Amino acid sequence: MIRSIRPSLNRCLLYNQGLMPYIDAHVWQRSLLAERIQDPSLDDVLILLEHPPVYTLGQGATPEFLKFDLDNSNFDVHRVERGGEVTYHCPGQLVGYPILNLQRYRKDLHWYLRQLEEVIIRVLAVYGLAGDRLTGFTGVWLENRKVAAIGIKVSRWITMHGFALNVCPDMTGFQHIVPCGIADKPVASLAEWIPGITCEEVRSHIVQSFADVFGVDLVDSTH
C-alpha cells in the first residue's frame, strides 16, 4: 500500500548533521535564508546538529553577562543577529535551526516562539517530564531550571537561528556566563533527570515533534 502524503503538509528538508563549527553553520543558515528571500517558493529546512564549545551573543547582548574578558580569552565567541543575550553551545547539546517561511504558517513571531517551545515540551513529555514556560521569558524549563534556550532572527518572514536543548553536555562552560542574562534561574541538562540519555536518541523525538507541531513532511536530505 502506497502511503499518500496529505497535500496540506509543507515539505521541510531535514539535515541531520553531526558536530559542526558554529561559524560554518552560521554561514550555511545565512545562505539558505538569502536563497529563500530571493525565491520564497523553496522548501523549508530544519538543521539538527551539535557545536564544538562556543559562546554566542545576540545583537543587543550585554557584555556584562560574560564572566571573562572578551578581548583576552581563548574562548570561541561570536556576536550574531539573533535576539537574546549570551548563550553557550557544546557537544551534548542538540541545536535546531529551522529556516521556515512563516507566510506558510502564521506571520506572528510570538506564535513562532511558542511553537518552538512546544516542540521541546513534547520531547520532554516522551520521557515523562513536564516542561514549563515561564511568563516573560523565552525557553523551556524543568523544575525552574532552564533546559532549552531559544533565539531567532526573522527576515521577510523567513526564520533563522532557533533552539538549543541541553541533553547531556558538559555544563561547566555555562559557569563563565550569565546564561541568557538570567542570574537567578540555573541551567540544567536532561541527563540530570535521565542518566545515560544521548543526543542520538533525542534527535528522532525532536524530528517527530517538529513535524507534528508545524504540520510538515520532513524529508531526509544531505549537505
pTM of the entire predicted model: 0.93
Strand partners, 166: 93
* Domain coordinates in residue numbering, the chain: 10-221
- Check residue 3 and give its pLDDT: 47
CA angle 123, 129, 131 (to 5 degrees): 70
- Check residue 7 and give its pLDDT: 55
CATH of domain 10-221: 3.30.930.10
Active site residue 180: yes
- Check residue 27 and give its pLDDT: 97
- Check residue 193 and give its pLDDT: 98
- Check residue 8 and give its pLDDT: 65
Return the exposure string of 182-221: e unless at least 16 CB atoms fall within 10 Å of the residue's CB, then b: beeeebbbbbebbeebebeebbebbbebbbebbebebeee
- Check residue 1 and give its pLDDT: 43
Active-site residue identified among 12, 90, 168, 180: 180
Those residues of the chain that have pLDDT short of 70 are 1-8, 182
Contacts by residues 141-144 (CB-CB < 8 Å, ≥ 24 positions apart): 141/185, 142/188, 142/190, 142/193, 143/188, 144/185
Which residue's entry shows cell 545583537?
Answer: 59
H or E stretch covering 190: none
